[in-house]
Chains A and B, each alone.
Chain A
Amino acid sequence: MDREIWITGIGMVSSAGVGVAAHLEALKKGDAPQVDNDSFAPYRVHPVVAVPYEQQIPKKADQRQMEAWQKLGVFAAGMALDAAGLKGDAERLGRLEMIVAAGGGERDYAVDGQILTQAPLSEHPAEMLNERLMSDIRPTMFLAQLSNLLAGNISIVHGVTGGSRTFMGEEQAGVDALRIAEARIRAGQADAFLVGGSYNAERPDVLLIYAMADYLWTHEYAPVTEREDRGGGFILGSGSAFLVVEAADVARARGATPLARLDAVASDMPARKPGSVAASLDGMWGRIAADFDPSRGVVFSGATGAVGVTAEEQSVLARRAGDARVHVTGDLFGHLVEPQFPAGVALAAAALSEGLYDDAVVTGVGHRRGEGSARLSRVG
């Protein structure tokens, strides 16, 4: 079996707005993205816009059970289901498969701070830790920390109960989520997927991980590809992107309208060394986009701004994409980590559905590991 695959629904939210139309609009305007320079100074983040959560998560009780990264994801997932015409279709949602790319975490910052303040003063710090954690953590906090509880919340709020898998591993989780969904549909192992991810950058604990290795861009905002000579780095962004990906035969039978055709998804993770990212991306381009037509095509790059690998990816695009327009998604909403690649694919699908282009390539370049590419084309 080798089935045609369509993208039939997109949900997106980030610092650039709510909904894919707002993102395309921002892309056309080309303004500098929203940046919060102060809340976590010297670090910058791209803060998510105000989100009308009640539109997709009507029950306040559900909203209270989630932390921001989960609410963003459940919101975007609901938008994607709406757009695909699947919302409330219990029978189809009961068969819809899900692959979510997720990190996790979320902390009670005040409790952590108090414990760390007390610890050096305590004669028995380990016992003190037990006591404070037993009395101070909200029992439900755990459910905001578990990686697979974004998927769990999507099941609860939207009734998606086919299968549910959560992939972890930063940027590459988003690439592989789409790759596995694509492969399973193509081979006839499944008919339809909800695929995506979500990220809350406005959290000091996630900044902490990247700050330890000096990955965060602390200079005045500059576009992703113009950071190399000052050491490179990324600005994390809050946001989420979800896609409904379906076998064309199944989508057609239910009268769904395609936004774009998903022709191929590739991923790889060769050991990083100078030139490895360029070789990996170039190889993928050869496999899935050798016949890319720059005159009618567009590229959405998932470059992070990390030093070295960003320049390698740009060199491949310079060689392979010709005169095609290249949008670096990080310039629109920053670095969303797990959902960066699904967000790039979402933008490409939206641009194709508007008839702006006929052909699109999306790249993903993990700041530390993993590369990915997707090829999409206009339907009709």
Chain B
Amino acid sequence: MTSPHRDRAGRPLVAVTGLGIVTSLGEGKEDNWAALTAGQSGVKRLSRFPVAGLKTTIAATVDFIKAEPFCAPALSQEMAMRAGAEAVGQAGIGAPGDFPGPLFIAVPPVEMEWPHRRALAEAGANGEDVTYATLLAGARTGKFRAWYELFLFGTVAENVARCFGTKGSPISLSTACSSGATSIQLGVEAIRRGETQAALCMGTDGSVHPESLIRFSLLSALSTQNDPPEGASKPFSKNRDGFVMGEGAAAVVLEDYDHALARGAKILGFVLGCGEKGDSFHRTRSSPDGAPAIAAIEGAIRDAGLSPDDIDYVNAHGTSTPENDKMEALGLASVLGERMKSVPISSNKSMVGHTLTAAGAVEAVASLMTIATGRIPPTINYNVPDPAIELDVVPNVARDANVRYVLSNSFGFGGQNTCLVFSGEPG
């Protein structure tokens, strides 16, 4: 019997044996990878609801999966099921409906939506102006029992857990726009402490509805360059003016390397390191000095047992907001130094928009496929370089390269900074 494989810190190595993805570009790795490396955009004019009166009228919605009538938890759940099925199917682990480990799933915070409020108001109507007392009267009719389940925060996770037969109490989490990365981090930690030999980690977000769009719009976070829609998301460009909301889901099967080897699984890559640091500067803005982002980047590289010089591609958070891209470039330059000017970095969000809760997981899948195929997806819409950001953003056209170590960044409202390091080889 050979001795167990361990990383440089003596911990179990965390291999990736399954990947699944759904974005506005399509369902499945094959379609998504073809589109991502062809520089295609999934951003389009919104058709899900009327856009009259809105400043932003575009999004990278997933319209080919029907959740009718639209409601965020229903679409989020369905996308998670499909991404999960692809990942678990590829991993060939356990038996159908019997995944041998826990579920960590990043889900958008659920909330009742306007069609539901309107139905409750109608059911409770008493001829007077509508208040929440009217809605409560509607609730008492007993006609809306199914919606109770729909709008509990834990429902999507339990349904996904039941579908795949994951073990233990599934964890629903939110760390805003770094949620998908956090789900992977939780899985890595569980495997490293020997609690499990496999984990299903996912992020999903199908929450483009009028109020969610308007909320980001009121915070001036969204691009308003609606025409053409596919040109709106332009990370690192001088004329970037905000992010584009996106929808999608991604799933990653993590497995103790020795467990994967023992069952003869195909190894798709490794999660070598995770870094995390909170920011106390502001509710929506990052510390101007980039210190928390820097600490998260450094932490991930250190946790991977690597040095900054080892990183040969960065899958950027790259939201296309003026502030994020500047801060991210600053943070990377601080850690990777002069070398950062020549390290390729690209933003999948230029094509699939900002998939919010799912983004970290979606970008993990793209990072691992970059390593596997030796092809770096481009940052599209890069036509006006920002002289303040000296980066090789792999402009507009995919590039072939031998990529061994990828740093993937995720930053979010509420001072969330989570970075992951992926590799093709075990260390």
Q: Which residues of A contact B (CB under 8 A)?
A: 40, 43, 65, 98, 102-105, 109, 112-117, 119-120, 124-127, 129-131, 133-134, 137, 139, 141-143, 145-149, 151-153, 155-156, 159-170, 172-173, 175-176, 179-180, 183-184, 186-187, 189, 204-205, 207-215, 267-269, 271, 366, 368-370, 372
The answer to whether A116 and B134 have CB atoms under 8 Å apart is yes
| B66 part of interface (Cβ distance < 8 Å) | no
Minimal Cβ-Cβ distance residue in A for B214:
A133
Provided the pairs A163-B277, A208-B139, A209-B152 are in contact, do residues A119 and B210 lie with their beta carbons within 8 angstroms?
A: no
Cβ 8 A contact of B219, one of A130, A139, A170: A139
Cβ 8 A contact of B172, one of A153, A169, A175, A186: A169
| B401 part of interface (Cβ distance < 8 Å) | no
The answer to whether B148 and A213 have CB atoms under 8 Å apart is yes
The docked-state distance in angstroms from the alpha carbon of A152 to that of B132 is 29
The answer to whether B111 and A145 have CB atoms under 8 Å apart is yes
| B30 part of interface (Cβ distance < 8 Å) | no
The docked-state distance in angstroms from the alpha carbon of A176 to that of B154 is 12
Contacts of B131 in A (CB 8 A): 109, 113
**Shortest distance from the beta carbon of A126 to any chain B beta carbon, whole Å:** 4
The answer to whether B120 and A208 have CB atoms under 8 Å apart is yes
The answer to whether A169 and B109 have CB atoms under 8 Å apart is no
Contacts of B130 in A (CB 8 A): 113, 116-117
**Shortest distance from the beta carbon of A154 to any chain B beta carbon, whole Å:** 9
Q: 7 A-B contacts, Cβ less than 8 Å apart?
A: A109-B132, A116-B130, A155-B280, A169-B171, A175-B169, A186-B193, A370-B169
Contacts of B161 in A (CB 8 A): 269
Minimal Cβ-Cβ distance residue in B for A184:
B189
The answer to whether B50 and A211 have CB atoms under 8 Å apart is no
**Shortest distance from the beta carbon of B275 to any chain A beta carbon, whole Å:** 9
Contacts of B152 in A (CB 8 A): 169-170, 209, 368
Provided the pairs A130-B214, A173-B154 are in contact, do residues A209 and B173 lie with their beta carbons within 8 angstroms?
A: no
| B53 part of interface (Cβ distance < 8 Å) | yes
The docked-state distance in angstroms from the alpha carbon of A329 to that of B169 is 22
Contacts of A172 in B (CB 8 A): 154, 169
Provided the pairs A148-B176, A164-B175, A172-B154 are in contact, do residues A130 and B144 lie with their beta carbons within 8 angstroms?
A: no
**Shortest distance from the beta carbon of A364 to any chain B beta carbon, whole Å:** 10
The answer to whether A168 and B136 have CB atoms under 8 Å apart is no
Minimal Cβ-Cβ distance residue in B for A166:
B174
Beyond A127-B53, A168-B109: 9 further Cβ-contacts under 8 Å?
A103-B153, A112-B132, A149-B283, A152-B283, A156-B415, A167-B171, A168-B107, A169-B154, A204-B133
Provided the pairs A113-B132, A149-B283 are in contact, do residues A269 and B219 lie with their beta carbons within 8 angstroms?
A: no
Provided the pairs A161-B277, A175-B169 are in contact, do residues A211 and B136 lie with their beta carbons within 8 angstroms?
A: yes
**Shortest distance from the beta carbon of B281 to any chain A beta carbon, whole Å:** 8
Contacts of B284 in A (CB 8 A): 143
Cβ 8 A contact of A267, one of B111, B122, B149, B169: B169
The answer to whether B172 and A168 have CB atoms under 8 Å apart is yes
**Shortest distance from the beta carbon of A252 to any chain B beta carbon, whole Å:** 22
The answer to whether A170 and B283 have CB atoms under 8 Å apart is no
Cβ 8 A contact of B139, one of A170, A180, A211: A211
The docked-state distance in angstroms from the alpha carbon of A129 to that of B50 is 10
The docked-state distance in angstroms from the alpha carbon of A120 to that of B123 is 13
The answer to whether A147 and B109 have CB atoms under 8 Å apart is yes
The answer to whether A207 and B153 have CB atoms under 8 Å apart is no
The answer to whether A152 and B415 have CB atoms under 8 Å apart is yes
From residue 121 to 150 of chain B, which have CB atoms closer than 8 A to chain A? 121-122, 129-136, 139-140, 142, 144-145, 147-149
The docked-state distance in angstroms from the alpha carbon of A120 to that of B139 is 19
The answer to whether B157 and A169 have CB atoms under 8 Å apart is yes
| B117 part of interface (Cβ distance < 8 Å) | yes
Contacts of B218 in A (CB 8 A): 134, 137, 139, 142
Contacts of A159 in B (CB 8 A): 280
The docked-state distance in angstroms from the alpha carbon of A200 to that of B172 is 20
The answer to whether A134 and B214 have CB atoms under 8 Å apart is yes
Contacts of B175 in A (CB 8 A): 148, 164-166
From residue 159 to 186 of chain B, which have CB atoms closer than 8 A to chain A? 161-162, 168-176, 182, 186
The answer to whether B168 and A146 have CB atoms under 8 Å apart is no
Contacts of B194 in A (CB 8 A): 187
Indicate the size class of the contact surface on chain B: 35 or more
Cβ 8 A contact of A113, one of B107, B129, B157, B276: B129
**Shortest distance from the beta carbon of B243 to any chain A beta carbon, whole Å:** 15
**Shortest distance from the beta carbon of B215 to any chain A beta carbon, whole Å:** 4
**Shortest distance from the beta carbon of A70 to any chain B beta carbon, whole Å:** 10
| B49 part of interface (Cβ distance < 8 Å) | yes
The answer to whether A208 and B135 have CB atoms under 8 Å apart is yes
The docked-state distance in angstroms from the alpha carbon of A209 to that of B129 is 21
Minimal Cβ-Cβ distance residue in B for A153:
B283
Cβ 8 A contact of A129, one of B145, B172, B190, B210: B210
The answer to whether B112 and A208 have CB atoms under 8 Å apart is yes
Contacts of B144 in A (CB 8 A): 212
The answer to whether B413 and A155 have CB atoms under 8 Å apart is no
Contacts of B107 in A (CB 8 A): 168
**Shortest distance from the beta carbon of B346 to any chain A beta carbon, whole Å:** 27
Provided the pairs A155-B414, A267-B168 are in contact, do residues A168 and B50 lie with their beta carbons within 8 angstroms?
A: no
Contacts of B147 in A (CB 8 A): 212
The docked-state distance in angstroms from the alpha carbon of A78 to that of B350 is 41
The 10 A-B residue pairs whose C-beta atoms are closest, nearest first, are: A152-B414, A169-B154, A204-B132, A161-B278, A213-B148, A187-B193, A211-B139, A116-B130, A168-B153, A139-B218
The answer to whether B168 and A269 have CB atoms under 8 Å apart is yes
Cβ 8 A contact of B215, one of A43, A126, A142, A176: A142
The answer to whether B154 and A130 have CB atoms under 8 Å apart is no
Contacts of B195 in A (CB 8 A): 183, 187
Contacts of B386 in A (CB 8 A): none
The docked-state distance in angstroms from the alpha carbon of A267 to that of B218 is 40
The digit string for B179-220, where 1 denotes a CB below 8 A from any CB of A, is 000100010011011110000000000000011001111110
Minimal Cβ-Cβ distance residue in A for B125:
A120
The answer to whether B162 and A271 have CB atoms under 8 Å apart is yes
Contacts of A141 in B (CB 8 A): 215
| B158 part of interface (Cβ distance < 8 Å) | yes
Contacts of A187 in B (CB 8 A): 192-195
The docked-state distance in angstroms from the alpha carbon of A169 to that of B412 is 20
Cβ 8 A contact of A269, one of B158, B214, B279: B158
Provided the pairs A142-B219, A156-B283 are in contact, do residues A104 and B158 lie with their beta carbons within 8 angstroms?
A: no
| B70 part of interface (Cβ distance < 8 Å) | no
The answer to whether B415 and A117 have CB atoms under 8 Å apart is no
The docked-state distance in angstroms from the alpha carbon of A133 to that of B215 is 9
The answer to whether A148 and B413 have CB atoms under 8 Å apart is yes
Contacts of B176 in A (CB 8 A): 146, 148
The answer to whether B132 and A205 have CB atoms under 8 Å apart is yes
- Most chain-A Cβ atoms within 10 A of its Cβ — which of B118, B147, B194, B218? B218
Contacts of B154 in A (CB 8 A): 168-170, 172-173, 366, 368-370
The digit string for B358-399, where 1 denotes a CB below 8 A from any CB of A, is 000000000000000000000000000000000000000000
The answer to whether A165 and B173 have CB atoms under 8 Å apart is yes
Minimal Cβ-Cβ distance residue in B for A131:
B53
The answer to whether A134 and B52 have CB atoms under 8 Å apart is no
